[in-house]
Amino acid sequence: MSPQKSDRRGLLIILSSPSGAGKSTLAKRLMQWDETLQFSVSATTRAPREGEVNGKDYFFVSEPEFRKWVAAGDMLEHAHVFGNFYGSPKPAVEAAIESGRDVLFDIDWQGAQQIRNSALGPYTLSIFILPPSIPELHRRLVSRGQDDSETIAKRMQKSWDEISHWDGYDYVLVNDDLDETEQKLKTIIQAERLKFAQQPRLSDHVRSLQSQFEDLS
Ligand code: ADP
Ligand code: 5GP
């Protein structure tokens, strides 16, 4: 007997890190690894970066539109980050987890805290990604080549604020070697899926073992 994915409620898998530590890169790799994972496409009021696709990387919305979603109760969590609003639309997440799909979030510590403290807290797996060093974090932000120097400076200034919340997470990984970090993330997700609470059909199996056992005597 192997419990089917649809037998259980999906997990909310949260990745957070200071900007540039590598969480988007890791999230993309996880999405390629497991096609049943659903990425939670956030809404944001920031402008798209080159190559970012509306509806895939983010829903790029105006501030009034963003406020409307929040007022309607359609955001699972939301936060003000680097001068812009970001939030996770609730309907898509609820539909996915109800059908047993795990949802992957790339959100900051404020969003992670709000989800952990919500009714969905027990279904949450949170992982914080640390950079190997601060100069390497800066190097990655520069090498990404998507922000001007003023934005990079702003992100660097805010990085300690994000890092200081590292100990509120279930797991903390230092993203030095990318392949190694990816492997560790996969191991964590696989282990979480094997937890007792994630396998509701196990009790049926144990009942069946019990009746087979009783038939022996
Ligand atoms: P974040 O989503 O946390 O802001 P990104 O995933 O955009 O960060 O990564 C920032 C830059 O660092 C990207 O250019 C990415 O290719 C690079 N990067 C990510 N992880 C590593 C790593 N382990 N080693 C070297 N470069 C990395
Ligand atoms: P970026 O502008 O680099 O894409 O994201 C900036 C920061 O906002 C990152 O730390 C990212 O994880 C966070 N972020 C992205 N989407 C959300 C969201 O929906 N909610 C929250 N709370 N943070 C988000």
Q: What is the CATH number of the domain that holds 21?
A: 3.40.50.300
pLDDT above 80: residue 47: yes
Strand 75-81 versus strand 84-89 pairing type: antiparallel
With tokens 């963003």, the residue in question is: 66
- Ligand nearest to C-alpha 86: 2
The span from the CA of 74 to the CA of 68, in Å, is 9
Check the CA dihedral 146-78-109-14 and report its sign: negative
Going by C-alpha positions, the residue among 209, 32, 5 that lies closest to residue 104 is 32
Residue 124 inside a domain? The answer is yes
| Domain span holding position 165 | 12-40+102-216
For 96, which DSSP code?
H
Ligand 1 contact via 144 beta carbon (within 6 Å): yes
For 133, which DSSP code?
-
Residue 36 inside a domain? The answer is yes
pLDDT digits (tens, 9 = 90+) for 121-140: 999 999 999 999 999 999 99
pLDDT band at 6 (very low <50, low <70, confident <90, very high): low
User: Is-contact 101 86, C-beta < 8 A?
Assistant: no
User: Average pLDDT of 166-189?
Assistant: 98
Ligand 1 contact via 159 beta carbon (within 6 Å): no
| Domain tally, the chain | 1
Residue 65 inside a domain? The answer is no
Paired tokens of 143: 């090498």
